[in-house]
Homo-oligomer: A and B are copies of this chain.
Amino acid sequence: MSKGAETRERIIDRAYMVAGRLGIEGVTIGALADELNLSKSGLFAHFGSKEDLQLEVLKEGERRFQEIVIKPALKAPRGLPRLKKLFELWVDWDSNPRNPGGCIFITASVELDDREGRTRDYLVATQRNLLSFMTGAVRLCVEAGHFRPDIDCEQFAHEAYGLVLSHNHFKRLLRDPNAEKHASKAFERLVRSVQR
C-alpha cells in the first residue's frame, strides 16, 4: 500500500471512531487534524470537505457491515438458517468491538433525517439496500418451503428491523441485560407466525 493510501486509511479509521463517539457531525477536518497530528491542509489533500469525510465514514460503516454481518450470513444455507444467522449477526453488530460507538447508521439516521445532501442520500441508499437484502432473505425462506407462500416479506423485514432497533435502544441506553433475550424471543415468535 502506498504511503498516501495508508494515511488515508488511518484518517478514515480515526474518523469512524470519532463518529461513533460524537456522531458524524463531530467529524470535522479541524478536530481530526488535531487527533492525528496532521495539518489541516494535509487532511484537505485527502478529503476536499467535511461532507466528503462524513461520506467516507458511512462508506467505512458499509464495508464493515458487509464484512461482519452480510458475508458471514451468506455462508449459511439459504432459507431459514440464513435468515436466522442474518438476524443474530445484525443484533450483535451494534456491540462489535469494531463499532465502539454502536451502529453508525442509527447515529447518522438521527442526525441526518431532517437534512438534505449527498451524505443523507448515501445513508438512505444503504438502509434501502439492507431492507431489500432482508426482504430477499425472507423470500428465500418462502421458496425453500420454510415459510407460507402468502406472507408479506417486506412486512417481515420491517418488523425484524424494529427488533434490532429496539434491542440496540434497550442495550445501549438502558443497559438492559435482557435485551438480547427479548430480541431473540421476539424473532422466534415472528418466525413461528409465518411458518407453514
Contact = CB atoms under 8 A, between A and B. Distances in A.
A23 B113 contact: no
Nearest to A166: B162
Contacts of A196: none
15 contacts: A23-B110, A23-B111, A106-B110, A106-B169, A109-B173, A110-B110, A155-B185, A158-B170, A159-B166, A161-B169, A162-B163, A162-B186, A165-B165, A165-B166, A189-B193
A79 interface: no
Contact of A166 (B102, B112, B161, B182): B161
Contacts of A113: 102, 172-173
B127 A173 contact: yes
Contacts of A173: 109, 112-113, 123-124, 127
Copies of this protein, total: 2
Contacts of A158: 166, 170, 182, 186
Interface string A85-121: 0000000000000000110001101111110000000
Interface in A178-192: 182, 185-186, 189
